[in-house]
Structure 1
Amino acid sequence: MAKNYIPELLAPAGSIDALKAAVNAGADAVYISGKKFGARKFATNFTDPEIEQGLEYAKLRGVKIYVTVNTLVNDSKLLSVAEYLIWLYKIGVDAVIIQDLGVASLAKKLVPDLDLHASTQMTIHNVPGVKWASKFGFKRVVLSRELGILEVEEIIKKTKYLGIEIEIFGHGALCYSYSGQCLLSSFIGGRSGNKGMCAQPCRKKYTLLSGKIDQYGKPLALHTVDIKDKYLLSTRDLALYQNLDTISKINLNSLKIEGRMRSPEYVALVVNIYRKVLDSISSGNWKQNSDDISKLKLAFNRKFTGGYLTENSAELVMARDSPGNRGLYIGQVQRYDEKTRTAIISIKNKYKLEIGDGIVFKYSNDNNEKTVKRTNKFFKTYGMAIEKSPVHKGDKLILNVGMPVKTGSKLYLTRSISLNHEANKIIKNRTSPSIPIDIVMWWDTDLKAHLEGEFIGFNDNKCKIHLKSSFKMEKAINKPLNPEQIEKQLQKTGKTPFILRKVSIKYPGDLFISLSKLNNFRREFLEKSQIELLLSYKPSQSHVQEACERFNNIKKLLSSSMEQFVGIDNDNTPIDLAVYADSLDTVKGALESGANRIYFEVPPKNLNILCSDSKNLNSMYDGSIDEAEIERVVSVLKLICELCKKDRTEFIWKWPQITHQYQINQYYTILKQLSKDFHGIMIDDIGVAEEVKKVMPNLVIYGSAGLNIWNKQTVLQLIKIFNTITPSAELSKENLRKIISSSRLDDLKTNFELVVQGNVDTLVTKDCLFSLVPKKDIKDIENEFWGIQDEKKQIFPIKIDLEGRTHILNSVELCLIDHLHEISQMGINSIVIDLRTKTYHYSRDMITIYKNGLEYINRKENSGKNMNRLKSKIKIISTGGITTGNFLKGIKE
């Protein structure tokens, strides 16, 4: 029977012990991070010697090692990254996983032979994105976790001819936001997910609020929307165990397990289970095993989900009732006997409990798992370790319990002693590698022994070894060694990575040497062979030298660029004022107050219907074209276009931050009808932008902050496609100044744009929060303020985009009015006011304020008094107050 195709099993490791656990459990590859430039800064991570140690351990067992270099990097750190990339190449890692486009471009120049994997942080989620990655030089793309299986299958089919590999996540924690597009942790506390420092604010409590708005869009008379669950942004954990047979049929290249923050025991258990499943699928005899699912739940779970990949309902992706580990549900308390202090539990899961196991009882009248709180004689949540052997009687379990538990309480197993033993057994099961080696032994005229070996090393390198003995054999007097005795000693390869395949002994006969000397000779030969084996996965010295020479050339360029850094005299260059708008009212206000450019984002047609549909994930992607929606969007764009033409204002169609393939197909249809009616389009997706540019070379492409521009190397890549680019909202003014200054010194022809005002996006998620609104409140959904409030009483406005995705905006408005002069000196070409979710009056008044600020600068009247007067006006009409964001201090490193 022919074997079925199965993907590579890629395991996480946050420590050397976890790496060994992953290898011993059956991983095909392991991804790790050094102490720098990895997106899990709070994992233990690897020192440089540990990376080399782990690499050797894995390679000797046929396992690949990928190293994450997947944080965003500013210009001052690029030299350090370049040195790190050279070192990783030199020691022979199999690939690096990268988020930053500038870092990827450096890697291409420095170490073109080192495989590059595009991190999920690059937010690649459509066919053009994968095509661009292949053209750029990536060997593999880790797709966004928001794709459905039909979308993944389409991407694989349409990019297969390129030879690029596709990887998806198969198990572990899910981010609420599209990875790479989340700034929530950064804006709340300066800990950026793009720097590996996410504080996980999505696991906190939030309350959904609604209310009226004043003339500026500020909330009035807010009230709490009655929702039982409090962890509105908390997702379940991904587990594709039950879908692996289906997934294996789409020719996926790699299945990744998340968990670099997890223990070696967790890694061992999860990897071992997925290894067994994939091997069973390969041989065609897999059947789901309830024990496997129980073990996966015990390892860690926040409830399991197939994620957006396989679930039909968006609610099945979320775990809004609790953000923590659930354990394994065992059964429900039927009664509690106060005399014997025992609980009788009706069993729903027959997983065996034993002394030392950790359990928890949870009780709630509404079945909602609540925090520990004592009520009368019992706890609503009570945890303990089992001290006496449980008694099983049929479908009943009798447990000795230290505290009274309420009838109806649910029993969960949270720690299993036997499972820990199983994990440790997997970890200790260090099967030795076995690389076949062919050996020839012969003797010269001086009776010195020679060993010649041949084997296939890593990367299919043929390795040949020769060793001559330091001793001479003697003519035997009594008992000469025979060929069988010599071969027996040679067969003892011990703990080396070799097994003897072929042995040829050209023995002259009648010779003698002590077995200890013969054994030492064999050991010396095998040690030499192992050294040669380990060298076979590393690049040659000449290739390393070439990489070092390229580094020295790049080092000079990077260093000279920084040394020549100067300010830019931009006093005589007027700054354009642009806006992001998503309503007819804000467009009218912008035109009346004199905006130079309008980026218009088409609003959704009907939020009530859109968010209702978003509950069914199948309705989000069926490959069909919605003719009615296309007609509506065309009509809206034409209306805005005509208004802008009358006012002689540039009109740009702003695409949503995320563009799945089904959207792109519809947008192309719209573009063909309207491309001559507007000046250009704004896109956050480099792959889509490149494809549009090919089809419509005269169309001007603008890029917003979702492109994550952190350094000049990224700018160098983007200016090939984008006319105007917007640096990341996480950058400080010093970093901004360096990027722009060095770009101007190199005469790069691009326009820089900076968002200076508004409740900017903190994240975008596929989850539609409006789907939680009870029917009794849904009638006014489009005409009110909506937001979520955290435990510190900060209110984050929310908006729903054209495709039903939720955008959570910052709780306070970015305001850089009193820094306009600094901004103009940087070389910024235009500033942007984000008017989305705002009103006509806000649009008209805010633009007027900023126009006045620019006038003050032009007339050199930008005194503190004048600018503070404008700032005071802004405070009155802003939602949530004002902030300079990261402009002054940047984020924590």
Structure 2
Amino acid sequence: RTFAPNFTDEELAAAIGYAHLRGVRVYVTVNTLVHDRELPALAHYLVMLYGIGADAILLQDAGVAALAREIVPDLPRHASTQCTITDRDGVIRAHEAGFERVVLARELGMAEVDSLFAIPESERPGIEIFVHGALCYAYSGQCLLSSVIGGRSGNRGMCAQPCRKPYALVSGKPDRFGRIHGEERLALEDSYLLSTRDLCLYPNLGEVLKRPFAALKIEGRMRSPDYVAIVVSRYRTALDGLATGSFTPRQEDREDLEVAFSRGFSTGYLFGDRGPALMGRCRPGNRGLYLGSVESGRSGELRIIPAARTVPGPGDGLVGRDPGTGEEQGFILRGTVEQTGRELVVRQQTGCRRGMELYLTRSARLEREAAAILQAPGPVGRFPLTIDITLLVEPGLPLLISGSIRVPGGSILMVRHEGAFVPEPARERPTTGEEISRQIRKTGESAFRVGEFSLTYPGGLFIPVGRLNSFRREFLDLSQQALIAARRPAADLMQKAEARMEELAGMLAQTPPCRRRTVPQLAVISDDLESTTAALAAGCNQVLFEPADDCLSPGAAIAAALRPPGAAGRIVWKWPQVPPPGFTPRACSVLPGLHDAGLAGVMVDGPGAAATIRRTLPCLEVTGGPGLNIFNHLAIRAYRDLFTGVTLSPELSSRDSAELLQRAAGTCPGVKTGMLVQGNLEAMVTADNLLDLVPDGDRRGNHRFGLLDATGRIFPVHVDCSGKSHIANASELCLLDYLPDLAASGVDFLIIDARNRGPDYAGLMTAVYREALDATAWITGRPGVPDPVPGLKERIREMARGGITAGHFVRGLAEE
């Protein structure tokens, strides 16, 4: 992450070596989106990771994945949770793309996960899930909220966590352009409407391990070493116990996890938690462990009705919180806590009073335990590597030792070392075989434990203990170096990787041909038949129709929209950005009939769905939506077997999009490119139904809803027919001024997002852009022609929701 104290290259190499000596694999996250201008540096980074022995890399960007496959094909690739893989189509496509593992989206339930394990093992990668730590409110990889608010993109490792900020839910009647008027703030108990609890599957590990997961993941980024030590320790002990059949979840361990850090725990979507069981809307930060309510808070004494087994001790940090006002009173426990009957008694001034809730936020005991873990010498005990030793001691010859190391994964590493010391016949007491064996078997703080030991020794020789010890240390050091080297690529493989990297650098250094300036086509995203008809009548070239009730009966509304009377234009079926379970097979079953009726194509936001459509109906045009996160030309090249067109990421600046389009023209000219130019960008897609919070008395069928932030901006909220919430940016994107620049860059189609805006907006906004695009002399940059923007832009302002902005196209993303 950008704001974390990340490893230097040297520190990372040392960390990987340290882990490998302890039988531990290291996977490196490279799961951010990458600009074209950053690709040469990224190529060097990938070769560096390969060279220092990284066991795998986690990726999000399709272009980066293709680059890694080309330059360092032997470096395993894992698909990050940022890839938003939610179904069998995504899992199978990841396997086809060469990924060895996928980290599933955290929104899947166990039944959905089980369906993925039904895929034959030969046709899918390994499957990994999160079991502990912070939860994102939105689908990872599909969240632009931090980006649109402050330019800090979660897709670039810079999320500012706006989901942990306070919001109010407002509602009001929509006007003819879908804008809320006369909004009223709904009376809700809590303010942190987007703040999730933390995931904790510790009590559920037995059920989790009934499935053949490749790995279980703890979210430990931006957390202290103490947190990592305690959390990993509890899960490691549990997994070891499950392996031997001796594990029973301990309440004490779960409470320790809460003290380490907790916003309140949830078993997440995986075990069916929803609403209050998933969300921690009352406060966004660490709560600690709830100890109980304060029964009395007289001067110098505090009596608590305990709600936990943990009893605080001297040096612990405690906080009393007033559940009504939110007032907090913290203190450090100086003495011991007395247990009297059903009460705990603290005898010191605390400032707490009756009715407060008492939380343990810092444990001196856990700090001591974490310090002991962090200071533990040697190979951490759990994962020492077995080394079988053969030692040859003969008169007149140097000591000769060989070792056979059982490396994780099953391979055997052989190490041989000849010492400089030559033993001589003993003048007095000779060194015995037992003494030699005892000294050589000592492994101290090394990564090894001795397995089989074979000694060939005729006896009668004298070897000083110091010589044996130094010889053993030399051998163990040599073995450790050999072990680290064995996990790194051979010299010839590194040379090939570096040669491929240099070849790519040369290719990227070349100036690509400019795309031909064209007048782009105009597309409109609509969600109802009336808006579709209005957009086509106003002159758009195609409608990307995403019917509001599509998840209930896929294709029914599309059939009604095809070739509406009196209008000419293409109808493309836009699928939900994150399709609900079962949607893709049902939708694919009706595709042939819709295609026969005139369907021009399908727009999807995932490569898995695209691959399934290709298998179903190879002749159908498939366009990639904004959810693909196209950030560089290599991503377009990687998807050219799936998509006939792609939509560029709305996070790209004019400079970045122009370079991308220029490079794409030379490498994948057959793929059309599009950009969003008008509408409130979809900033979040979340599996949480925000409108479940609406009190019954405020549920009015004709009302629209939004989130009001502390600055007074309203972010429109829409819940689709599958219960997912869609949160749009408060301001409306408008790139009307930049149409000549977009035409010069060679973009093929421009998109107006008219969802939830009604037919008046869809028709009138289409007419504005149609008029601008028809001003051919202006669009093509002919000097001295009238500028139509001022008049057209005024018409846009009359319809815009929340004002207009050129967004990232002008400002770009924050880079530091």
Residues 1:892 and 2:811 are matched in the alignment: no
1:349–1:650 CA distance, 2 compared to 1 (3 A): same
Matches within 5 A, 1:161-176: 161-162=122-123, 164-176=125-137
Instruction: Letter of the 1:815 partner, please give it.
Output: C
Equivalent position SS for 1:651: strand
Equivalent residue runs for 1:112-511 within 5 Å: 112-162=73-123, 164-338=125-299, 341-365=300-324, 370-372=325-327, 381-400=328-347, 402=349, 404-432=351-379, 434-442=384-392, 446-457=396-407, 459-511=409-461
The answer (yes or no) to whether the contact 1:760–1:810 under 8 Å persists in 2 is yes
Which shows bigger deviation, 490-499 or 103-112? 490-499
Equivalent in the alignment of 2:506:
556
Counterpart in 2 of 1:763?
A: 684
Distance in 2 between residues matched to 1:809 and 1:430, nearest whole Å? 52
Which is worse superposed, 675-684 or 142-151? 675-684
Q: Is the 8 A contact 1:127 1:661 kept in 2?
A: no
Q: Which residue of 1 aligns with 2:584?
A: 664
C-alpha distance after superposition, 1:364-387 (max 9, x if no partner): 45xxxx443xxxxxxxx2222223
Instruction: State the partner residue of 1:650.
Output: 570
Counterpart CA distance in 1 for 2:177 and 2:385 is 72
Any residues of structure 2 matched to 1:83-122 within 5 Å, and which? 83-122=44-83
Q: Could you say if the C-alpha distance between residues 289 and 821 of structure 1 is closer, same or farther in structure 2, counting changes exceeding 3 Å?
A: same
Does the CA contact (< 8 Å) of 2:51 and 2:494 recur in 1? yes
Change (3 A) 1:303 1:509: closer
Q: 2: distance between equivalents of 1:449 and 1:731?
A: 65
Q: Is the 8 A contact 1:758 1:833 kept in 2?
A: yes
**Unaligned segments of structure 1, at least 5 residues:** 1-39, 373-380, 606-625
Q: CA deviation at 1:209?
A: 0.9
SS of residue in 2 equivalent to 1:675 = helix
The 3-state SS of whatever aligns with 1:249 is coil
Matched, 1:597 2:542: yes
Q: C-alpha displacement at 1:696, in angstroms?
A: 0.6
Distance across 2 between alignment mates of 1:287 and 1:676: 59
Q: Give the deviation of 1:356 after TM superposition.
A: 1.9
Q: For residues 430 and 784 of structure 1, what CA distance do their matches in structure 2 show? A: 64
Q: How far is the alpha carbon of 1:817 from its aligned partner? A: 0.5
Q: Which residue of 1 aligns with 2:660?
A: 739
> How much has 1:634 moved relative to structure 2?
4.0
Q: SS of 2:522's equivalent?
A: strand
Identify the residue that residue 19 of structure 1 maps to in structure 2: none
Larger displacement relative to structure 2 (530-539 or 82-91): 530-539
Distance 1:358 1:519 in 2: 47
Match of 1:795 in 2: 714
Q: Any unmatched runs of 5+ in structure 2?
A: none
- What's the secondary structure of 1:287's corresponding residue? coil
Seen in structure 2, the aligned counterparts of structure 1 residues 861 and 635 have a Cα distance that, compared at 3 Å, is: farther
Structure 1 residues 681 and 66, CA gap change in structure 2 (3 angstroms)? same
What's the CA shift for 1:287? 1.8
Q: Which amino acid aligns with 1:597?
A: Q
Q: 2:3 aligns with which of 39, 42, 57?
A: 42
Question: Is this contact kept in 2: 1:336–1:342, CA < 8 A?
Answer: yes
Work out whether 1:685 is the aligned partner of 2:606. yes
TM-score normalised over the length of structure 1: 0.87
* Pair 1:702–1:517, CA change in 2 (3 A): same
AA aligned opposite 2:538? S
The equivalent residue for 1:870 is: 792
Alpha-carbon contact 1:812-1:882 (below 8 Å) kept: yes
CA distance in 2, matches of 1:222, 1:388: 54
Change (3 A) 1:95 1:864: farther
- Which of 813, 816, 820 aligns to 2:739? It is 820
Map 1:825-864 to 2 at 5 A.
Answer: 825-858=744-777, 860=782
The aligned length equals 808
Partner Cα distance (1:330, 1:357) in 2: 12
Partner of 1:66: 27
The verdict on how the C-alpha distance between 1:862 and 1:874 changes in structure 2, with shifts beyond 3 A counting, is farther
Alpha-carbon distance in structure 1 between the residues aligned to 2:437 and 2:614: 68
Provide Cα deviations, 1:114-158, integer angstroms capped at 9, x if missing partner: 111100001111101010111111000000000001001111222
CA distance in structure 2 between the aligned counterparts of 1:706 and 1:828, rounded to whole angstroms: 18
3-state secondary structure, aligned to 1:448: coil
Distance in structure 2 (CA, Å) of the matches to 1:862 and 1:209: 48
Other-structure match for 1:588 = 533
What is the TM-score normalised by the length of structure 2?
Answer: 0.95
Distance 1:819 1:79, change over 3 A: same
**C-alpha displacement of 1:312:** 4.7
Contact 1:131 1:159 in 2 (8 A): no
Q: Residues of 1 paired with 2:602 and 2:155: CA distance?
A: 26
RMSD, aligned α-carbons: 2.0
Partners of 2:417 and 2:267 in 1: CA distance? 56
Equivalents in 2 of 1:198, 1:244: separation in Å?
30
C-alpha displacement at 1:653, in angstroms? 0.8
| Separation of aligned partners in 2, 1:300 and 1:599 | 45
| C-alpha distance in 2 between matches for 1:325 and 1:740 | 45
For 2:283, the aligned partner's letter is S
Relative to 1, partners in 2 of residues 1:461 and 1:450: Cα closer, same or farther, differing over 3 Å? same
Post-superposition CA distance 1:362-415 (Å, at most 9, x none) = 2245xxxx443xxxxxxxx22222234322201112223535544222211111
Shift of 1:310: 0.5
Paired residue secondary structure (1:191): coil
Match for residue 694 of structure 1 among 605, 615, 623: 615
Question: 1:263 & 1:207 partners in 2: Cα distance?
Answer: 32
Alpha-carbon shift at residue 50 of structure 1 (Å)? 1.4
Moved more, 497-506 or 817-826: 497-506
Contact in 2 for aligned 1:604/1:804 (Cα 8 Å): no
1:67 Cα deviation (Å)?
0.5
* Cα separation, 2, equivalents of 1:771 and 1:510: 86
| 8 Å contact kept, 1:759–1:811 | yes
Identity, in percent, stands at 38
What is the one-letter code of the residue matched to 2:443? T
Q: What CA distance in whole angstroms lies between the structure 2 residues aligned with 1:866 and 1:795?
A: 30
Secondary structure in 1 matching 2:810: coil
Change (3 A) 1:801 1:540: same
Return closer, same or farther for 1:482/1:335 CA change in 2, 3 Å cut-off: closer
Residues 231 and 320, structure 1, Cα contact 8 Å, conserved in 2: yes
Deviates most, 412-421 or 177-186: 412-421
User: 8 Å contact 2:128–2:213 — kept in the other structure?
Assistant: yes
Cα 1:854–1:862 shift into 2, 3 Å? farther
Confirm or deny: 8 A CA contact 1:66 1:97 kept in the other structure. yes
Map of 1:31 onto structure 2: none
Comparing 385-394 with 646-655, greater Cα deviation is found at 385-394
Q: Which moved more, 1:410-419 or 1:728-737?
A: 410-419
Distance 2:315 2:449 in 1: 43
CA distance in 2, matches of 1:295, 1:351: 8
